[in-house]
């Protein structure tokens, strides 16, 4: 958690969830249960999966990612049966159960394009989530929260939106990357953040890692400022090309 750059309110919500889980015995002695269901909303690359992994690491529990291609069956009732097996396994010990692209399973049941089987799967999923003990933390992530079934939305006690990084957040993340890897970009992180503003944390990591990779390959005759400028120049060119394609496709 200490390596993540999060808005203050997101940090507080996550720290609250972690504290409740770590002090669950105290809560139960007063007839209370810790919260254990969280929904993360945000565009791709802004840290939903990383945050879920960090929560599991903080609690020192296993992190399980649900693979939809292994859940969805082609026969009637097969998907619901696999869901039941999944949740039965999750109940065996404290863990974090992570559903990425949750809208794939948690679609709005009122969608006229969905089959009766999908609607039954959603109903089964919601019932299974409801029946989980509080030591099993369910974290669901979605890029399209408007597609979620309203009942699915209400199931989650904590709902967090992860916004795209600000320039200050990008600068802080780049500074952290430097310290973590004993690296000097040769250019101030604030300047790099200004140049790449608008990208996600995942894109920022790709840029920083490419700089680091080139730096390692160029040792001992290294010049990180030149390398950083070259990587930023290529990234800006790729971004322009991508935007041009989007305009032409539109």
Question: Does the structure show a pLDDT above 60 at 243?
Answer: yes
Strand pairing report for 158-161 and 95-99 = unpaired
- pLDDT of the residue at 83: 85
184-198, pLDDT tens digit by residue? 999 999 999 999 999
- pLDDT of the residue at 241: 82
- pLDDT of the residue at 2: 86
- pLDDT of the residue at 146: 79
* Main-chain dihedrals φ then ψ at residue 142, nearest 5 degrees: -145, 145
Question: Does the structure show a pLDDT above 80 at 140?
Answer: yes
Cβ atoms 14, 6 nearer than 8 A: yes
21-73, pLDDT tens digit by residue? 999 999 999 999 999 999 999 999 999 999 999 999 999 999 999 887 777 76
Q: How confident is the model at residue 108 (pLDDT cuts 50, 70, 90)?
A: low
Question: Does the structure show a pLDDT above 60 at 104?
Answer: yes
- pLDDT of the residue at 231: 96
Cβ atoms 210, 231 nearer than 8 A: yes
> Which residue is associated with the tokens 């503003």?
197
Strands (E), 16-80: 37-41, 63-65
205-226, pLDDT tens digit by residue? 999 999 999 999 998 877 899 9
80-103, pLDDT tens digit by residue? 788 889 999 999 999 999 999 888
119-129, pLDDT tens digit by residue? 777 778 888 89
Q: How confident is the model at residue 110 (pLDDT cuts 50, 70, 90)?
A: low
- pLDDT of the residue at 32: 97
**Whose CA is closest to 129, among 105, 104, 162, 160?**
105
143-171, pLDDT tens digit by residue? 887 778 777 788 899 999 999 999 999 99
């Amino acid at each position: 958690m200490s390596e993540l750059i999060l808005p203050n309110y997101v940090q507080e919500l996550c720290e609250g969830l972690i504290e409740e889980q770590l002090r669950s015995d105290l809560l139960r002695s007063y007839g209370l249960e810790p919260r254990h269901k969280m929904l993360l909303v945000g565009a791709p690359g802004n840290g939903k999966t990383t945050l879920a992994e960090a929560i599991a690491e903080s609690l020192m529990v296993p992190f399980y990612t649900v693979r939809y291609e292994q859940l969805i069956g082609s026969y009637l009732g097969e998907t619901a049966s696999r869901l039941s097996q999944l949740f039965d396994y999750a109940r065996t010990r404290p863990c974090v159960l992570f559903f990425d692209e949750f809208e794939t399973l948690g679609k709005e049941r009122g969608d006229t394009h969905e089959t009766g089987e999908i609607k039954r799967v959603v109903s089964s999923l919601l019932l299974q989530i409801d029946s989980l003990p509080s030591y099993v933390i369910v974290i669901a992530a979605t890029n399209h929260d408007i597609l979620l079934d309203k009942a699915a939305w209400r199931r989650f006690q904590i709902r967090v939106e992860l916004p795209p990084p600000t320039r200050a957040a990008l600068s802080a993340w780049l500074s952290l990357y430097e310290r973590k890897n004993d690296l000097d970009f040769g250019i101030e992180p604030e300047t790099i953040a200004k140049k790449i503003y608008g990208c996600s944390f995942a894109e920022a990591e790709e840029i920083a890692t490419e700089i680091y990779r080139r730096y390692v390959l160029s040792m001992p005759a290294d010049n990180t400022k030149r390398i950083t400028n070259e990587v930023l120049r290529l990234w800006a060119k790729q971004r322009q090309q991508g935007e041009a394609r989007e305009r032409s496709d539109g």
